[in-house]
């Protein structure tokens, strides 16, 4: 065993992550975020948010953390539930909720086939809860209906099947809103046959802002709801799971078991509180900006295949490149007929102040600048003009190119 003096070890251990130019780098990053249409996960804490966050209490949340407890009880009250639990991520929130609802396999969870719980949580329902997932394709291509649920739910005692125990909805889903009367009908039916209902409300804030519906009303039909602070609301970390006192007490246990019991979370809870007070009120501007983006694309001649209901314009493409949408959200690659998403993205990237684009999905967030939307529209307009000048003619109802997943551009999987 070699020995040395302690200060030599301290020298090895120490780390200064601040570069000489960190202030400039952060300023550049904020500028880039204002021009990034890939996802709302990239929103960043403002200096004001962090200044507020440093004032939070200093408890240990595995025992009791006052600022975190205040956030949990506020969100519980806001959503009309008895109790809340601050968790590190939306995935943790959904998975802890499922694990808490599901007690004795075999069983299944019914959800939309596009839902985060099914597609983007690494198969967590199977891993954590041993649950089969019934991933339903909505018959109307927009949202699950009562009939879809009735047609797919498993209620039989036949031992060949895994009986459904939870119906999990997502609102918004890819930026679209489920009509509340449909949610109420699904929930009443689910409860009438003894099922639990969970809402992945990562972006439920957008529904409240867009439809002026109180969060309590949106959450009333559900036994449990997960709400994210780190997406559209721009907090750095965290989600809140809400439900009955008994449910949350058990969920707290699973949070610890899964390794999600955190310590001095006051700074995170305060960031989330700041986001509720200062960023939620910005959502109407975000939605208006999204609609302006959509209208601009239409005016240029792009075809909108999925309307911007909240903060996402989905599956736009130049109308000169004919397109179609099916329920799996696949689309036809327009490269064989002249215009590609890559071309638009590359042109955007080449601007004096780059735009960051992720293919067919455009996400507008609280930190998107009006100028970014203007520059994006100007880029698409210019490209369309060039194609036309080069003799490009809209093909008649023909289908071109290869089928791609909407999230893939240049072979890269993009952030959710
Ligand atoms: C992002 C997201 C989640 C998961 O949140 P993470 O914090 O990324 O784990 C869950 N549901 C929906 C609808 C989401 O968009």
The reply to whether ligand 1 has any atom less than 6 angstroms from the CB of 206 is no
The reply to whether ligand 1 has any atom less than 6 angstroms from the CB of 91 is yes
Q: Which of 275, 93, 122, 300 is nearest to 198 (CA)?
A: 93
The mean pLDDT of 345-358, rounded to a whole number, is 92
The reply to whether ligand 1 has any atom less than 6 angstroms from the CB of 39 is no
Can you tell me the distance from the alpha carbon of 32 to that of 348, in angstroms, rounded to the nearest whole number? 12
Long-range contacts (CB closer than 8 Å, 24 or more residues apart) made by 406-409: 406/314, 406/315, 406/329, 406/330, 406/331, 406/359, 406/360, 406/361, 407/358, 407/359, 407/361, 408/359, 409/341, 409/342, 409/345, 409/358, 409/359
The reply to whether ligand 1 has any atom less than 6 angstroms from the CB of 89 is yes
The reply to whether ligand 1 has any atom less than 6 angstroms from the CB of 170 is yes
Q: Which CATH number applies to 283-415?
A: 3.90.1150.10
Q: What is the pLDDT of residue 203?
A: 94
Q: What is the DSSP letter of 279?
A: I
Q: What is the DSSP string of 88-118?
A: S-HHHHHHHHHHHH--SSS-EEEEETT-HHH
pLDDT over 90, % of the chain: 71
The reply to whether ligand 1 has any atom less than 6 angstroms from the CB of 79 is no
Q: Where are the domains of the chain?
A: 59-263, 283-415
pLDDT tens digits for range 272-295: 999 999 999 999 999 899 889 888
Can you tell me the distance from the alpha carbon of 226 to that of 398, in angstroms, rounded to the nearest whole number? 43
* Ligand 1 center to 237 CA (angstroms): 11
* Ligand 1 center to 242 CA (angstroms): 16
* Ligand 1 center to 202 CA (angstroms): 6
pLDDT tens digits for range 85-123: 999 999 999 999 999 999 999 999 999 999 999 999 999
Sorting pLDDT into bands at 50, 70 and 90, what band is 402? very low
* Ligand 1 center to 177 CA (angstroms): 16
Long-range contacts (CB closer than 8 Å, 24 or more residues apart) made by 187-196: 187/221, 187/222, 188/221, 189/146, 189/149, 189/150, 190/149, 190/153, 193/153, 193/155, 195/153, 195/164, 195/165, 195/166, 195/167, 196/101, 196/165, 196/166, 196/167, 196/223, 196/224
Provide the token pair at 266. 């006051």
pLDDT tens digits for range 163-182: 999 999 999 998 789 999 99
Provide the token pair at 402. 């290869």
Q: What is the pLDDT of residue 307?
A: 65
What's the mean pLDDT when you consider all of the chain?
87
The reply to whether ligand 1 has any atom less than 6 angstroms from the CB of 200 is yes
Sorting pLDDT into bands at 50, 70 and 90, what band is 312? low
SS3 category, 358 = strand
- Residue nearest atom 5 in ligand 1 by C-alpha distance: 90
CATH topology for the 59-263 domain: 3.40.640
* Ligand 1 center to 90 CA (angstroms): 4
On the question of pLDDT at 338 being above 90, the answer is: no
Q: What is the pLDDT of residue 310?
A: 63
pLDDT tens digits for range 219-278: 999 999 999 999 999 999 999 999 999 999 999 999 999 999 999 999 999 999 999 999
Sorting pLDDT into bands at 50, 70 and 90, what band is 70? very high
């Amino acid at each position: 065993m070699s020995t040395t003096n302690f200060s030599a070890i301290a020298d090895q251990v120490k780390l200064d992550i601040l570069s000489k130019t960190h202030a400039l780098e952060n300023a550049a990053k904020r500028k880039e975020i204002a021009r990034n249409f890939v996802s709302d996960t990239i929103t960043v804490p403002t200096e004001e948010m962090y200044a507020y966050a440093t004032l939070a209490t200093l408890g240990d949340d595995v025992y009791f953390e006052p600022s975190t407890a205040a956030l949990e009880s506020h969100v519980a009250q806001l959503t009309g539930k008895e109790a809340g639990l601050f968790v590190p991520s939306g995935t943790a929130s959904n998975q802890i909720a499922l694990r808490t609802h599901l007690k004795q396999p075999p069983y299944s969870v019914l959800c939309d086939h596009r839902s985060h719980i099914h597609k983007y949580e690494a198969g967590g329902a199977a891993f954590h809860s041993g649950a089969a997932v019934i991933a339903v394709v909505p018959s109307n291509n927009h949202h699950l209906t009562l009939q879809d649920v009735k047609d797919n739910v498993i209620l039989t005692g036949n031992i060949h099947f895994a009986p459904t125990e939870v119906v999990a909805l997502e609102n918004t889903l890819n930026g679209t809103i489920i009509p509340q009367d449909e949610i109420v009908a699904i929930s009443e039916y689910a409860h009438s046959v003894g099922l639990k209902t969970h809402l992945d409300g990562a972006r439920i804030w957008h529904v409240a802002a867009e439809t002026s519906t109180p969060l309590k009303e949106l959450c009333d039909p559900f036994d449990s709801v997960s709400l994210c602070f780190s997406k559209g609301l721009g907090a750095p970390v965290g989600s809140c799971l809400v439900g009955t006192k008994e449910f949350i007490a058990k969920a707290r246990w699973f949070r610890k078991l899964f390794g999600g019991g955190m310590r001095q979370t006051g700074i995170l809870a305060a960031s989330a509180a700041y986001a509720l007070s200062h960023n939620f009120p910005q959502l109407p501007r975000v939605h208006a900006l999204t609609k302006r983006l959509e209208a601009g694309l239409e005016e240029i001649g792009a075809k909108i295949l999925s309307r911007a209901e909240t903060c996402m314009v989905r599956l736009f493409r130049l109308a000169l490149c004919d397109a179609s949408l099916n329920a799996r959200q696949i689309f036809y690659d327009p490269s064989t007929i002249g215009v590609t998403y890559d071309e638009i993205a590359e042109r955007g990237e080449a601007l004096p102040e780059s735009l960051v684009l992720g293919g067919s999905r455009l996400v507008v967030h609280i930190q998107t600048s009006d100028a970014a939307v203007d520059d994006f529209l100007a880029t698409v307009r210019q490209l369309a003009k060039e194609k036309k000048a080069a003799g490009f003619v809209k093909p008649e109802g023909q289908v071109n190119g290869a089928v791609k997943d909407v999230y893939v551009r240049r072979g890269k999987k993009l952030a959710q």
